[in-house]
Structure 1
């Protein structure tokens, strides 16, 4: 434990020192800054409550993020993003059973390390961004660990073939990146053409795909095609407005290149509608269809919701998923959010109530939960309830 606190102290002092240097720019404004440091420090307490009459499992997470950018001239942008996490508590022993929590399947280079580990704590650090971007006129090329965001929806993104993410991982706002090379071309003010390549260390683990996005009739459309982990892919997406409601959608097909008789073509599709009233009340609903999703979960698949690696091909284990959300800004400092997901096939469902309070411009407090309901053999049953309390300082 002494090693854990020593590591945290060094990290905190270094973070504070760099922040002070980055913000020490009072005086006459002259040239644009070549260096920029941003980030945050979070402390989140979590409790898993399987049953109110049984023992509660607690775990604490101290989470530091630092994003350093360097702009040597108008053409170059270098970005390093680091996550440092300290887990400690009774439930740490279960984290080792979830390797995806520490190492991303999108990584070609291993830029993560468990610094120290004990029966009740884990200290982990990783570089989830490490890229160089060169821009000139209508061209832009980025190499390294980056986020390639091709999604249009807010919950499920079948078009996000490079770096899909899980909706349940709410504490990772930046979302995962991927080791890739990406070339972008801007033929017009409302159109973009992209091609990206992610190398793989083993067979059928590489991705190469292109996307074209354009605007027409008040809508943004996009089409993509390529090769993803042994499948040919083709997809499309859109975003626009119906009346005053936002309307988004995505669809992607995955077609096997080998063993066609044994492997199945997969279709993943989602759409969403959102509306904000003049009084700031926000409503949002979405639907996900996965052609190979399950109708009924067997006893041997009970933990599939969190054990399955999330990808654009398998965003959810269920065949059908329905999402609904409402949010309201009670005052400039207090915002509430309530969301839910239901699996119509077995009637199990998830609820996510959250309250966010801004203590100051740089400090905020969040309290909420992830509550799972259903039979023990249903998709959302058997997980119990998780409650979170988080304090965040941004710099």
Structure 2
């Protein structure tokens, strides 16, 4: 792509920033009026470095990430939502992004609302509409159509019940998480129960998803049951969230049953459970376990590029059969929070560590520093990736 195209996109991005400031300024002067629209979003600048060992060559990549969420609410019944995501990658590691098409185009998309605006050996400019929905609400009914997030998960890390739009834990920079082109109908029988029906269309029946969910409260627990059809399989699942004494307890189990040759050996089970506890001094501890019957005991990172592909599904949330997660977070000061997490594959002993620190610089501005560190032999699940460190500035509006 020519330098002219790159400069043209930079000009468009600059105009978008100026428009955002203009809208933000106008918003602060009209707080006395009842707003029928909302504009929010952020600008992020993240520098990343990748290396096998500290003494080896380092590869760098920079990501400029902009998000705009526009909502129009003409009355109490209608809600229009457009979410625009713009990303500019540049640096030495851009060459590896071509191995990860899912970073740019979601498999949940019926409509192609993304575009690589410009690309070169050392840069990629990409834009996408990851939210584009219309919601109608009246009495106990709610109908949403378009690109949306259907969140049926209960756990913090792995969500076997998230059959419409599962996400990768490693994709920490995408807080909104992926959406899906679907139609969803929700009904609230009582104040503590919900019934949902959702349908994701596709040109191929093996890529179609339709399912129903019923969620209700019983005692100190919320329960949910789901059933439907997911990419050629019948599915049934259960999820829960509650407390054991003062500790949070969540879990999800989903079974995938093939159309033909139904049996124990052909049934795929994806199950996860987690415990979390917050101490009075703000120390947060969290542990979780994932079982994936499709996972293998021995698999190397070259066979399944989990980090760069970002392709996961509720049917196969991990390439390993067993995964163990641990996390500790602490609020050191009102402005500084630290988080340390890890995942272990007990089958081959490889593991991942994720230390992060978040500092609030000012109102709406934050600094994030951290890393994603992979350890293990080259023929193990987490071996061969090396280490990644990040520093990110974010301004939210």
> What range is the shorter-chain TM-score in?
over 0.9
Residue 74 (1) aligns with residue 71 (2):
no
Measure the CA separation in 2 of the matches of 1:80 and 1:287. 36
1:267-278 to 2 correspondences below 5 Å: 267-278=269-280
User: Which residue of the other structure, out of 6, 10, 35, is the alignment partner of 1:8?
Assistant: 10
Three-state SS of the structure 2 residue aligned to 1:301 is coil
What does the per-residue CA deviation read over 1:345-378, in whole Å, with 9 as the maximum and x for residues that have no partner? 1000000000101001111000100000001111
What does the per-residue CA deviation read over 1:196-249, in whole Å, with 9 as the maximum and x for residues that have no partner? 000012230000000000001110000000000000000000001111111100
Measure the CA separation in 2 of the matches of 1:204 and 1:131. 24
Measure the CA separation in 1 of the matches of 2:214 and 2:330. 35
Measure the CA separation in 1 of the matches of 2:261 and 2:205. 14
Q: Does the C-alpha gap of structure 1 residues 111 and 382 become closer, same or farther in structure 2, counting only changes over 3 Å?
A: same
Q: Does the C-alpha gap of structure 1 residues 243 and 125 become closer, same or farther in structure 2, counting only changes over 3 Å?
A: same
Q: Contact between 1:22 and 1:35, CA under 8 Å: does it hold in 2?
A: no
Three-state SS of the structure 1 residue aligned to 2:323 is strand
Residue 386 (1) aligns with residue 388 (2):
yes
Structure 1 segments unaligned to the other structure (5+ residues): none
Residue 38 (1) aligns with residue 40 (2):
yes
Q: Does the C-alpha gap of structure 1 residues 364 and 244 become closer, same or farther in structure 2, counting only changes over 3 Å?
A: same
1:24 to partner: Cα distance: 1.9
Q: Contact between 1:160 and 1:312, CA under 8 Å: does it hold in 2?
A: yes
1:309 to partner: Cα distance: 2.3
Aligned to 1:193: 195
1:20 to partner: Cα distance: 2.7
Q: Contact between 2:371 and 2:388, CA under 8 Å: does it hold in 1?
A: yes
What does the per-residue CA deviation read over 1:11-30, in whole Å, with 9 as the maximum and x for residues that have no partner? 23323323432442456755
Aligned to 1:176: 178
Aligned to 2:129: 127
Q: Contact between 2:170 and 2:307, CA under 8 Å: does it hold in 1?
A: no
What does the per-residue CA deviation read over 1:171-213, in whole Å, with 9 as the maximum and x for residues that have no partner? 0000000000000000000000000000012230000000000
Structure 2 segments unaligned to the other structure (5+ residues): none
Aligned to 1:85: 87
Q: Contact between 2:85 and 2:128, CA under 8 Å: does it hold in 1?
A: yes
Aligned to 2:370: 368
User: Which residue of the other structure, out of 351, 354, 364, is the alignment partner of 1:352?
Assistant: 354
1:332 to partner: Cα distance: 0.8
Aligned to 2:64: 62
User: Which residue of the other structure, out of 194, 219, 222, is the alignment partner of 1:220?
Assistant: 222
Three-state SS of the structure 2 residue aligned to 1:162 is coil
TM, length-normalised to structure 1: 0.96
1:31 to partner: Cα distance: 4.3
Three-state SS of the structure 1 residue aligned to 2:269 is strand
User: Which residue of the other structure, out of 47, 50, 54, is the alignment partner of 1:48?
Assistant: 50
User: Which residue of the other structure, out of 280, 283, 295, is the alignment partner of 1:281?
Assistant: 283
TM, length-normalised to structure 2: 0.96
Measure the CA separation in 1 of the matches of 2:350 and 2:152. 30
1:8 to partner: Cα distance: 3.0
Measure the CA separation in 1 of the matches of 2:130 and 2:256. 27
1:258 to partner: Cα distance: 3.5
Three-state SS of the structure 2 residue aligned to 1:269 is strand
